[in-house]
Structure 1
Amino acid sequence: MPKSPKSLSGNQIRQKFLDFYDKRQHQVLPSASLVPDDPTVLLTIAGMLPFKPIFLGQRQSDFSRATTSQKCLRTNDIENVGRTARHHTFFEMLGNFSFGDYFKEQAIAWAWELSTNVFELPPERLIVSVFREDDEAFAIWRDKIGIPAHRIQRMGEEDNFWASGPTGPCGPCSEIYYDFHPEKGDKDIDLEDDTRFIEYYNLVFMQYNRDADGNLTPLQNKNIDTGLGLERMAQILQQVPNNYETDLIFPIIKTAAEIAELDYAKSDEKTKVSLKVIGDHIRAVVHLIADGITASNIGRGYILRRLIRRVVRHGRLIGIQGEFTTQVADTAIALAEDTYPNVRERNDAIQAELQREESQFRKTLARGEKLLADILAQKPEQISGRDAFTLYDTHGFPLELTQEIAEEHGLTVDIAGYEAAMKEQQENSQAAHETVDLLAQGSLDEVTSGVAATEFLGYTVPATTAQVMALVAEGESVESAQTGTEVQVVLDQTPFYAESGGQIGDRGYLSGDNLVVRIDDVKKESDFFVHFGRVERGTLNLGDTVTAQIDRACRRRAQANHTATHLLQAALKKIVDPSISQAGSLVAFDRLRFDFNCSRSLTSEELTQIEDQINTWIAEAHGADVAIMPLTDAKAKGAIAMFGEKYADEVRVIDFPGVSMELCGGTHVNNTAEIGVFKIVAETGVASGIRRIEAVAGPAVLDYLNLRDKVVKELSDRFKVKPEEIPDRITNLQNELKASQKELEAVKQELALAKSDQVLSQAESVGEFKVLVANLGDIEPDALKTAAERLQQKLGDSAVVLGSVPTEGKVSLVAAFSAKIYKDKQLQAGKFIGGIAKLCGGGGGGRPNLAQAGGRDASKLPEALDAAKRQLIEQLQ
């Protein structure tokens, strides 16, 4: 019987791998962030991703060999997490890489040496695969390593040929498998049997380039890209049944089980799946937040939010009632901190993000699960797409959770119907915000055919002579445009900045002999700057030579506001959180707006500190250094780039030394002193995980202060108080209003009770119970609720349903049931009134004893109340 390998901890496996290749002249590099320096992918999904530019020949490497332990995250198989032995979202890939140095024979020899000598895997338990046409690799394994030919499996392109895409570098793979059951013998080996075999090491031989026709040609420099799964090797060496029960993940699972007061070993399979999901996802969440990602509804933020929500959901499934994610995260942080110190450094941010998201989602979950339970109670054959979309769109309940819960009840969700409802909403939204296409449906493309790209001169000159290369008026290409005509003009060169990077386009004029064209906006389409304006005097002709002059006052305002956004980002990173990054911006002539990732609102103290810091930098008169340089050099210098933004190989860097350095194509002041002053106007939330600061800078501050001064003077005159007394005067008025509102509410309550006493005699006996259904006219919802409770108490064992129309077209409904009704008769107020409200085009619910609902069709109230009375009598008899 083949011997079993020796046991090693996950940390020991990682270190032994890196030490092995370090001794073989590989540069040991730290793991890259989960946020890749690659706009084509959201997350780091493989160990080779940080080296992709080298493999693709886009960048030269400073070393010919490298080795890493790279943290990775994938969600493509998220539904398999916890259900199989080795599917994960977060995992670590141990890799050794050769950039034009060693190739197949050396890579194979070292992989075998590492496996058998370092990790002491019994050779008789190892089986390898090669690409079906890779005779060279087959021969190396057989003749150099000594593996019997029948233990070398040839496999097809789907399994053993790696490609970076449809074209580009590619090559065959060779994989090493561990055999958990060698006693089954060597006949009819099936490497797809994951109960017996586990593929733990993949060697990619990048030796070809594939062209657009699918032809393969040998690369001049052949590369090696390998990946050894840390969790998989830990399963092998620790001799546990799956990756989750290794020391890399099981301590997290154990913490979750203790919180749920469960014994993992004695739990059923469904409970174990939930515990595994929690163990896997919390690792992913901790590292995502540590790398600066905050929860939101888009991109990486949505992936983080989805993972947190799945953790919370599975926690509820195993009986955890209170908030728990921060406790489980403590264990995950402790496991990771020695290898990834940033998780401990970001401990507070991780805990805060988890607590906030869990608290928020628990409220969403409670609402959504109740509504979904009502849908399931109707025993549908399938959850309709419309219901799934309503749960998502109205109540924030994720489609994935609807699918999971439906699956638990043996049902599916109509995804096509869901997508149709989503599309319908998007189309309605677009129709509501439809704007006129000033480029006249492609006429610009026609008139610029054969025209050279516009040359932009605006960084250095405010005015220049230019030739009119294209002219569009009223959606048509024209030879000339008369006074009063709205036009779009393309010039051969221009000083006008075109709207880009959040900065709006310049304003100004085109002029000539007896000609003035006012330019109100400039946009860039492809390589052309399109000047939008109106002929104020004379005639503009195609081919005319004109003077293009920007409005310098507007440009100075835009420059001040744009530089201020750079200073604002620097101040946010310094004062609030270094991981803050830009999520959007607007640079106008009169204001600026800056959106950034942050999961909480900023305090008034922080806003004051930010404002003071920016004004200090302005007063210090920092000069601007503007340079064009290779993208790699800019990033090496520390220039800030927007995640997901696609940059050219050559980039423009705006550097205010010691303060801010960003990649930016906008216009800026030459010295921060030119800004003058900076003032924050507002700080708000615009989306989950995204905050917005609105501010003014330069001359716009005076406009802002003048407006505020005017408002203060007007309020002072109206209240007949001094400006400094205005806040106290407003407070007094608010207190008076609150007192009046309380008096009004008291009167409404008395009116409701008086009306309820009048209908008390309408109660009917149904067996041992009393039933009262009545319309109380225009009573407000709160007063209606009070009346229903009071009537139910007076009647004893009873069911009371009241309706009213408090405002035109709106229906209010309340149901109050005694304990004997909702316990003995299983007739719950929440479910009952929700069904009645549907007859009025609405819905609602609540507790078994007391519930409220609403509707949109007041004309249906009598019908709804009749139905309520009829159903109560039927169900109580």
Structure 2
Amino acid sequence: EDKFQETIDQGIHILENYIEEMENSGKNSLNGQKAFKLYDTYGFPLDLTKEILEEKGFTVDEIEFNQYMEEQRERARKARTADSGWKNEDSIIDFSEYNSNFKGYELLNLETEVLGLFIENKSVDNISEGHEGIIIIKETPFYAESGGQVGDTGYIKNENFLGEVLDTKYAGNTIIHFVKIKEGNVSLGDRVSTLVDGKRRKSIMRNHSATHLLHQALKEVLGEHVNQAGSIVLPNRLRFDFTHFEAVKEEELREIEKIVNEKILADLDIKTLETTLEESKKMGVIGLFDDKYEEEVRVVQMGDFSMELCGGTHVDNTGNIALFKIISESSIASGVRRIEAITGEEVYRYLNEIEEDLNNLGNTLKTNREGLIDKAGDLMEELKEKERELEALKSKMALSIVDEIINDKKDIDGIDLVVYKVENMDMNSLRNLGDEIKSKLGTGVIVLSSVHNGKISFVSMVTKDLTDKGLHAGNLIRDIAKITGGGGGGRPDMAQAGGKDLDKIDEAMNMVENIVRKQLN
């Protein structure tokens, strides 16, 4: 509730700024893009925007708003379908004559009849050992890939053959099984036994149920504007894409993960019911109602926490998920974020790997796990101290060649010009070197450069007597740095700059004399 109010307050503040802009510019209508930003970013309803604007004597461009809404819906549709490995148009076979009933909500094995056999897009009477093909059966416990959940694997067999189910997909409304015959041969009309890989299915179910908890947790932490924009549910992990306008903060991720695990530990019963689409809307079910649904829909409810339209398979109780861990959060498109997570045994495996890494790290650093942070801190401090010593040593070495650098000076119309490239020196050391040269030179122009940690540094200095003659260290360094794709500037007597193109540092230093002559003229 607090998060929602905070979001609304932000939206009102931004809308007030928009109104002030319109008043100043003499406009009387808010453009649709801004109205959409209020809706999409801050969950600010269009009706509320219209109401506030009308009170101030303004309108909103609803046509443009609806155009942006449709573009967002299309992006979400594309994101939801991008993960599918099979489309009905991938096949040139017409499977519409086959009716395969899914029984996998209740069963993982059953006996049934072979209705269709196919090899390389051709209908066949049998498939023999060593060959791969498609089997269609009258009833199936195998879940076909849909809604982001991958298809089941397992076995179809009888006393004459053994077939490994490699994948299960939909072709139109028909469930098709991609099978490799391991032994014997299968024929049309055969009675067969089916066996879904139960361990794999349970892992998928844990991950699928976790996506529902994650979806609701995202809404609670980030706001009601969050909607699913795609997902994939695998045996070893889940991936959930959702609409959101910025990267999810670390503390928000921790809160989301905490909520999901609290609901897992709460042992919420997971129930399913079939109802009409219209009735599901009245129930407040989460669903992307811009998508096409059948008139009869399936609702998955997890206690009083989550209720979504879903045709996938789920555990009976949230406690069966065991554990939930977010592995990563990233951007996949403008306004669309992605969370990857693991559950159950995968979390246990993940924690064991971390424990092993910590033990190995402790052995390397010669400390126990409890002392790792302190040890790392000590090592970082030692490293910084060594770096400071190294920089001091490099400065001393550089200062030891001050006389050598001055001896390379050029005479430009009676003015001493020192141009020198020093190896591996940071900006502070470069300035100190410049000060030392300037002190010994007495009068003149100095330009130094160096590459340190892959970055170019420039320093220029002009003695006071020469600034009065029109020489300007800031302008000089700016023109030099520009050659390397960098920039900078400063006072007439001292300036510094950075560069980007390492290959052009020599070219830039060679141009110093010409630039100085131009300033003198």
State the TM-score, normalized to the length of structure 1.
0.44
1:844 equivalent in alignment to 2:490? no
Residue segments in structure 2 that go unaligned for 5+ positions in a row: 1-14, 57-83
Which of 829, 833, 837 does residue 477 from structure 2 map onto?
Answer: 829
Which residue in 1 is equivalent to 2:80?
none
Does the C-alpha gap of structure 1 residues 571 and 284 become closer, same or farther in structure 2, counting only changes over 3 Å? closer
Conserved 8 A contact 1:611-1:678: no
- The percent of aligned pairs where both chains have the same amino acid is 27
Conserved 8 A contact 1:467-1:545: yes
1:703-735, CA deviations, whole angstroms, 9 ceiling, x for partnerless residues? Answer: 333333433444454455444333333333333
Does the C-alpha gap of structure 1 residues 850 and 560 become closer, same or farther in structure 2, counting only changes over 3 Å? same
Letter in 2 for 1:731: G
1:482-561 paired onto structure 2 within 5 Å: 487=132, 489-492=134-137, 494-513=140-159, 515-524=161-170, 526-527=172-173, 529=175, 531-532=177-178, 534-538=180-184, 546-561=192-207
1:573 equivalent in alignment to 2:190? no
Q: Secondary structure at the match of 1:684?
A: strand
Conserved 8 A contact 1:679-1:696: yes
Q: Secondary structure at the match of 2:301?
A: strand
CA distance in 2, matches of 1:851, 1:453: 74
Q: Secondary structure at the match of 2:134?
A: strand
Does the C-alpha gap of structure 1 residues 752 and 803 become closer, same or farther in structure 2, counting only changes over 3 Å? same
1:744 equivalent in alignment to 2:386? no
1:343-376, CA deviations, whole angstroms, 9 ceiling, x for partnerless residues? Answer: xxxxxxxxxxxxxxxxxxxxxxxxxxxxxxxxxx
Which residue in 2 is equivalent to 1:586?
232
Which of 497, 510, 516 does residue 866 from structure 1 map onto?
Answer: 510
CA distance in 2, matches of 1:488, 1:755: 79
1:375-774 paired onto structure 2 within 5 Å: 445-448=91-94, 452=98, 455-464=101-110, 465=112, 467=114, 469=116, 471-472=118-119, 487=132, 489-492=134-137, 494-513=140-159, 515-524=161-170, 526-527=172-173, 529=175, 531-532=177-178, 534-538=180-184, 546-596=192-242, 597=244, 599=246, 601-604=248-251, 609-642=255-288, 645-675=291-321, 677-682=322-327, 684-686=329-331, 692-751=338-397, 758-767=404-413, 771-774=417-420
1:810-829 paired onto structure 2 within 5 Å: 812=456, 814=458, 816=460, 820=467, 827=475, 829=477
Does the C-alpha gap of structure 1 residues 659 and 249 become closer, same or farther in structure 2, counting only changes over 3 Å? closer
CA distance in 2, matches of 1:644, 1:781: 58
Residue segments in structure 1 that go unaligned for 5+ positions in a row: 1-89, 91-246, 255-263, 265-271, 294-299, 301-331, 341-436, 838-842
Does the C-alpha gap of structure 1 residues 645 and 717 become closer, same or farther in structure 2, counting only changes over 3 Å? farther
State the TM-score, normalized to the length of structure 2.
0.70
Which residue in 1 is equivalent to 2:52?
336
Which residue in 1 is equivalent to 2:71?
none
CA distance in 2, matches of 1:651, 1:853: 62
Letter in 2 for 1:846: G
CA distance in 1, matches of 2:114, 2:174: 13
Q: Secondary structure at the match of 1:736?
A: helix
Tell me the CA shift for residue 639 of structure 1. Answer: 0.9
1:495-539, CA deviations, whole angstroms, 9 ceiling, x for partnerless residues? Answer: 332333332332322334454443444444554555456554445
Does the C-alpha gap of structure 1 residues 646 and 280 become closer, same or farther in structure 2, counting only changes over 3 Å? closer
Conserved 8 A contact 2:41-2:245: no
CA distance in 2, matches of 1:643, 1:759: 75
CA distance in 2, matches of 1:514, 1:560: 35
CA distance in 2, matches of 1:823, 1:442: 75
CA distance in 1, matches of 2:373, 2:319: 35
Conserved 8 A contact 1:752-1:787: no
Q: CA RMSD in A?
A: 4.8
Letter in 2 for 1:802: S
Does the C-alpha gap of structure 1 residues 762 and 704 become closer, same or farther in structure 2, counting only changes over 3 Å? same
Which of 775, 780, 798 does residue 445 from structure 2 map onto?
Answer: 798
Tell me the CA shift for residue 552 of structure 1. Answer: 0.8
Which residue in 1 is equivalent to 2:68?
none
CA distance in 1, matches of 2:272, 2:372: 48
Which residue in 1 is equivalent to 2:43?
291
Letter in 2 for 1:800: V
Q: How many residues align?
A: 464
Which residue in 1 is equivalent to 2:8?
none
Q: Secondary structure at the match of 1:800?
A: strand
Higher relative contact order (CA 8 A, sep 6+): 2
1:532-563, CA deviations, whole angstroms, 9 ceiling, x for partnerless residues? Answer: 56554445678876544221111111111211
CA distance in 2, matches of 1:747, 1:277: 67
Q: Secondary structure at the match of 2:486?
A: strand
CA distance in 2, matches of 1:692, 1:438: 19
Does the C-alpha gap of structure 1 residues 530 and 863 become closer, same or farther in structure 2, counting only changes over 3 Å? farther
Tell me the CA shift for residue 638 of structure 1. Answer: 0.8
Letter in 2 for 1:567: L
Q: Secondary structure at the match of 1:568?
A: helix
Does the C-alpha gap of structure 1 residues 767 and 438 become closer, same or farther in structure 2, counting only changes over 3 Å? same
CA distance in 2, matches of 1:248, 1:709: 52
Does the C-alpha gap of structure 1 residues 873 and 469 become closer, same or farther in structure 2, counting only changes over 3 Å? farther
Conserved 8 A contact 1:817-1:829: no
Does the C-alpha gap of structure 1 residues 591 and 765 become closer, same or farther in structure 2, counting only changes over 3 Å? same
1:584-603, CA deviations, whole angstroms, 9 ceiling, x for partnerless residues? Answer: 43322223343442635445
Q: Secondary structure at the match of 2:341?
A: strand
1:97-116 paired onto structure 2 within 5 Å: none
CA distance in 2, matches of 1:757, 1:558: 74
Conserved 8 A contact 2:406-2:437: no
1:4-153 paired onto structure 2 within 5 Å: none
